[in-house]
Amino acid sequence: MPRTSNRALVNGVVALLVVVAAACSRPKAVVAPEVSPAAESAQPTDGRDRDGTTQVQSEPTISAAGVPEEAVSATDLPADIEALNRAGYLKDAFFETDKSDLREDTRATLAADAAWLKAHPTVKVTIEGHCDERNTAEYNLALGWRRANAAKAYLASLGVAAERISTISYGEEKPFALGRDEGSWSQNRRAHFVVTSK
């Protein structure tokens, strides 16, 4: 085999190896080239061999992301509505571990909430679904979503217009109690009411 074709093989394999790092999801075994002893003794003296040099580049720099203009904070409520929330007319509904079924006492709480909402027909609320810290973060987001919507569906069944109720899940992201025991966990398994409009 002429030496030039050996070098072409080596260069081709080197080029393959350079792009290897980006190919993590397309696993292809790049196998070692078989190089004859003749190529082994080749010295990189002419231009063609220098073309085989890998010029190592610096890694890309990392930039922090900007904030999109439409960013909103769920806690930015007018002062009078914050006061209404602090007054606590609407009681939160609590759940069993890993459940979104409504307990008997949860139904009673929600029935009282429904009565208050019907007596105040302009009020709009967000029901937040919350979970204790057990189970994984993203499973808990799905579980909290179920809890919030179970509470909403029950209120709707009692005659509260569904358009007045929005729902969001915070999963285990915003715990009410920070202990790592059943006393705290039971406090965190809830559908929490936030009045968003009078």
Partner 1 sequence: MRNLTSTVVFSLAIASPVVGHAQEELYLHVTSPGLQRVVVAAPDFERRAGSDPPGSAEFASTLRKDLGEAVAITLLPDDRARLVEVDPTNQGLTRQRWRAVGAQFLLQGSLAGAGSQLVVEVRLFDLASGEVAYSKRLQSGAPLAPTMAHTLANDLVHLFTGRPGPFLSRIAFVSDRSGSKELWIMRWDGADPQQLTTHRSIALGPAWSPDGQWLAFTSFLRGNPQLLLLRPTEGYLKPVAALPGVNTSASFSPDGARIAFAAGADGNTDIYVVPVAGGTPERLTSSRAIDTQPAWAPNGRQIAFTSTAAGAPQVFLMDAEGSNIRRLTLGDTFADEAAWAPDGVRLAYTSFVADRFQIAILDLRTNTRSVVGAAGNNESPCWSPDGTMLAFVSDRSGRKQIYVTDPAGKPRQVTIDGNNLQPAWVAQLQ
Using CB under 8 A, list all residues that contact partner 1: 10, 14, 17, 20-35, 37, 39-40, 44, 49, 52-68, 70-74, 98, 100, 135-139, 141-143, 145-150, 152-153, 167-171, 173
Residue among 53 and 157 whose Cβ is closer to partner 1: 53
For residues 127 and 170, what is the distance between their CA atoms, to the nearest angstrom? 10
Residue among 2 and 121 whose Cβ is closer to partner 1: 2
Q: How far is the CB of 119 from partner 1 (least distance, A)?
A: 26
Helix (H, G, I), strand (E, B) or coil at 195: strand
Residue among 82 and 89 whose Cβ is closer to partner 1: 82
Residue among 54 and 119 whose Cβ is closer to partner 1: 54
Which of 192, 188, 193, 191 has its CA nearest to residue 97?
188
Q: What is the dihedral of CA 78, 83, 89, 94, to 10 degrees?
A: 80
Q: How far is the CB of 77 from partner 1 (least distance, A)?
A: 12
Burial class of residue 11 (count of CB atoms within 10 Å of its CB; 0-12, 13-18, 19+): middle
For residues 161 and 117, what is the distance between their CA atoms, to the nearest angstrom? 9
Q: How far is the CB of 95 from partner 1 (least distance, A)?
A: 13
Residue matched to tokens 């006393």: 183
Pairing assessment for the beta strands 190-197 and 93-94 based on DSSP bridges: antiparallel
Q: How far is the CB of 168 from partner 1 (least distance, A)?
A: 6
Q: How far is the CB of 123 from partner 1 (least distance, A)?
A: 19
Residue among 13 and 89 whose Cβ is closer to partner 1: 13
Q: How far is the CB of 66 from partner 1 (least distance, A)?
A: 6
Tokens of 40: 């082994």
Positive or negative torsion for Cα 81, 109, 171, 124: negative
For residues 127 and 150, what is the distance between their CA atoms, to the nearest angstrom? 10
Residue among 26 and 119 whose Cβ is closer to partner 1: 26
